[in-house]
Amino acid sequence: MAERSFKQEVQKLRAGDGEVFTGEGILAITKGLLQSGVAYVGGYQGSPISHLMDVLNDAQDILGELGVHFEANGSEATAAAMLSASVNYPLRGAVTWKSTVGTNVASDALSNLASSGVTGGSLVIVGEDYGEGSSIMQERTYAFAMKAQMWLVDPRPNLPSIVDMIDKSFQLSEASNTPVFYMMRIRGCHVTGEFVAKDNVAPEFSALNPVSPQREPEKIILPPNVYRQEQEKIADRWPAAIEFIKNNKLNEWFDGKYKNLGIITCGGTYNTVIRALERQGLADCYGNTDVPIYVLNVAYPLVPDEVIDFCKSKQHVLLLEEGQPAYIEPEINTLLRQRDIQTKIYGKNLLPRAGEYTGHVILQGLTQFLSAADHSLDLPMSLEAIDALGAPLKDDEFELLLKNVPPRPSGLCTGCPERPLFSALKQVQDELGPFHISSDIGCHSFATLAPFNLGNTIMGYGLSLASSSGVRSALPHKSISIMGDGGFWHNGLATGVASAVFNKHDGVLIIINNGYSAATGGQDIPSMMNANLIATTMDVDKLEREQSQSIENACRGTGVEWLRTISTYDIESMKQTLRDALTTKDSGLKVIIAEGECMLNKQRRVKPLMKKAINDGQRTVKARFYVDSQTCTGDHACIRISGCPSLTIKDNPDPLREDPVSYVDNSCVGCGVCGSNAHAAVLCPSFSRVDVIHNPSAFDKLMWNVRQTVIGWLS
């Protein structure tokens, strides 16, 4: 189960030669892979390429017809290791993951792959999560490409270019025996458009036509092979790559009438450059430009002859390279000076050294460049006018904004099973004193924000327990580590639990078991619930957990002795379990498995079933909670301890009181955490539960009449 189904869209992947394919970037990539004769695909989900894994999963019937092997890998390292299939055999393979965080996990396998070289084309489709829409620390893939000598393709974000560059990237990989990074930026993944399709191509070798095993000892990563492989990278593979890029015109040159000026940009920022030129009257929306543009669809390696040819006839060239440190700018300057070409290169001196080159940033930098390079140009937008577009709000405007649009930081969803856990943890912290909490990647990382403000560090997916190992001996009481079930299977079992048991780590690990890889879109994990029960069961309390791979068994297998499994929604039991874990005299790692199904996935499952049951005339009950406005004091402690989006405020109905009262809006899913918190923390008695009954039975109607009669007497 994932947050979005592509069952209907994937039928477009059957499009044949000459048909017009319409869709978004993620679908175009998949079609490009099938048209290129890919033999196997895999990966690990993560923004902005989570949907690529979802598309591949939903397209397994089509993949199977062609003989294409697909796997949802346990981690990025597992996916990278898959590419070893292309080392000895002419198999085209592609794997995908999220940006530099995924590349970091996969780095060992990737470095070995790049050292040995490949026979079949090998692509790493990396979702470049950089800039304003990013969810991670800010680094670029360029650094790893240079370090490992893997070529980096950065296509222009339109569907014809994306699809064409998939096939060309496979060819580039095979021509230079080198794996290739195929970089998809956030906007490119979701851009929509159309292209003329080609027939899908079945791989030459697959389960339908097996390849004969063969061995090439010189490709094994051991001395003395590795010394020769390094020389081969530079002496053979690099020149072969440059020759292929040049001969096949993978980089593009768009001419313009201002011959003394030029712009060099990576493919991913091309659309933004054209928009900036258009706003200054120097291009149209179709890409026709007055200023010549050299587009680096292959960002690494640079092709020296192309750079020289573009720059030698120009006096001024603007280079657009996102991020810091700059890699392209120093290399281009060196190339030009070595050839004694005096073209002036403008780059980081006009544009920010760090951060995404958004439309405003490029418009500003482009205008500065044009003003400095050619004073005869009459630009419709001045620098002052552009600065005003991005000017910060004045104080009174900022206050007005805050008054009308309440701040909404990232947070847990309505009814999230992790909210009661952190509410319980916050209450126990008030009793026992401050905790050092090692947080982790996942939905639970939002607990580091208000209203919980719990967590000291986030080091990587599944690394929370490992990150607490250095500080644990210096703390007044046990350290707490938190990871999700996705992080546990990704990295946490080996690097965290097994290592902690081996090193006699006397700390507390809380594993949040919500049944899915929830933060990346609700994909399946080894300990997921039984798929057949999920599809047919409405009451999650009766949903058996028939796990093929149990988190509890995995922990016990490493030697964990102190282990408790608790429902996250049972706040009192959770508080007591936390107290026990933090105060027990038992040595060794204490593991608490906090169970509760991801509410988003539960609602996606339950709502259609409930709607069908109501339409079929079945009796259905839905719990709702409300706050008695007459009882509520306006203290809002219930909001501070929970932070549920459905728990908000409204005007006080009492004319003698000014403070607004708490209020549960219609987004409530009936999880009951607000009321449980009010009880567990001894807040107030203003919360009540109401059961909304559809298609009531005769007994329900009788009891309603009795209650109404009694209420009438009492009133």
Fold match flag (253-389 vs 418-602): yes
Tell me which of 2.60.40.10, 3.30.70.1140, 1.10.3720.10, 3.40.50.970 is the CATH number of domain 418-602: 3.40.50.970
- Does an H or E element contain 99, and which? helix 99-116
Tell me the Ramachandran region of residue 354: left when phi exceeds 0, alpha when psi lies from -120 to 50, beta otherwise: beta
Under the banding of pLDDT at 50, 70 and 90, the label for residue 362 is: very high
Compute the Cα dihedral for 510, 511, 513, 518 and give only its sign: positive
* Residue 22, burial from CB neighbour count under 10 angstroms (0-12, 13-18, 19+): middle
Distances (CA, A) of 230 to 111, 112, 147, 303, 663: 11, 11, 12, 20, 66
Beta strands 590-595 and 508-513 are: parallel
pLDDT tens digits, residue range 226-252? 999 999 999 999 999 999 999 999 999
What are the pLDDT digits (tens) for 607-617?
Answer: 888 899 999 99
DSSP class of residue 283?
Answer: B
Write down the architecture of domain 619-714 according to CATH: 2-Layer Sandwich (3.30)
Going by pLDDT thresholds of 50, 70 and 90, the confidence category of residue 683 is confident
Q: pLDDT tier at 543 (50, 70, 90 boundaries)?
A: very low
Model pLDDT for residues 402-446, shown as the tens digit of each residue:
777 766 677 888 889 999 999 999 999 999 999 999 999 988 898
**CATH assignment of 253-389, given 3.40.980.10, 3.40.50.300, 3.40.50.920, 3.40.50.800?**
3.40.50.920
Assigned token pair, 371: 């003003």
Interatomic CA distance for residues 219 and 117, integer angstroms: 7
Asked if residues 414 and 668 have their Cβ atoms less than 8 Å apart, the reply is yes
Given a cut of 70, is residue 47 above it in pLDDT?
yes
Q: Token pair of 93, please?
A: 């393979």
Q: Of 39-48, 515-524, 557-566, which range is least confident? A: 515-524
- Mean pLDDT (the chain, rounded): 90
Kindly calculate the radius of gyration of the chain based on its CA atoms and give it in whole angstroms: 29
- Look at residue 186 and tell me whether its pLDDT is greater than 90: no
Residue 502's pLDDT is what? 94
pLDDT at 532: 47
Q: How confident is the model at residue 2 (pLDDT cuts 50, 70, 90)?
A: low
The bridge status of strand 93-98 relative to strand 69-72 is: unpaired
d(CA 375, CA 20) in angstroms, rounded, equals 45
The 3-class secondary structure across 194-216, one letter per residue, is: EEECCCCCCCCCECCECCCCCCC
| Kind plus residue range of the DSSP H or E element containing 22 | strand 20-24
Confidence tier at 22 by pLDDT (50, 70, 90): very high
| pLDDT at residue 530, rounded to an integer | 58
- Tokens (6 digits) for 708: 């109404």
| 131 phi-psi bin (left φ>0, alpha ψ -120 to 50, beta other) | left
**Per-domain residue ranges for the chain?**
15-204+212-246, 253-389, 418-602, 619-714
Tens-digit pLDDT profile for residues 522-538: 788 888 765 544 545 54
Q: Is residue 541's pLDDT more than 50? A: no
E-only strand ranges, 533-604: 562-567, 590-595
Does the pLDDT at position 641 exceed 90? Answer: no
> Is residue 309 within 8 Å of residue 303, measured between CB atoms?
no
| pTM confidence score | 0.88
The per-residue pLDDT for range 131-148, each reduced to its tens digit, is 877 778 888 899 999 999
**Alpha-carbon distance 567 to 223, whole Å?**
53
pLDDT band at residue 542 using 50, 70 and 90 as cut-offs: very low
Please determine, for residue 540, whether its predicted confidence score (pLDDT) is greater than 60: no
Say what the pLDDT of residue 517 is.
84
Residue 123 has a pLDDT of 98
Report yes or no: 548 and 571 within 8 Å, Cβ to Cβ: no
Q: Tokens 């094994």 correspond to what residue?
A: 220
pLDDT bucket at 709, cuts 50 / 70 / 90: very high
Query: What integer is the mean pLDDT of 29-45?
Result: 96
For the domain made up of 15-204+212-246, give the CATH fold.
Rossmann fold (3.40.50)
What pLDDT sits at residue 436?
Answer: 93
Omega into 451 within 30° of 0, i.e. cis? yes
Identify the pLDDT of residue 699: 93
pLDDT, position 3: 67
User: Residue 79 pLDDT more than 80?
Assistant: yes
Tokens 């998949």 found at:
30
pLDDT digits (tens, 9 = 90+) for 618-631: 999 888 888 888 88
Distance of CA 515 to the CA centre of its chain: 18
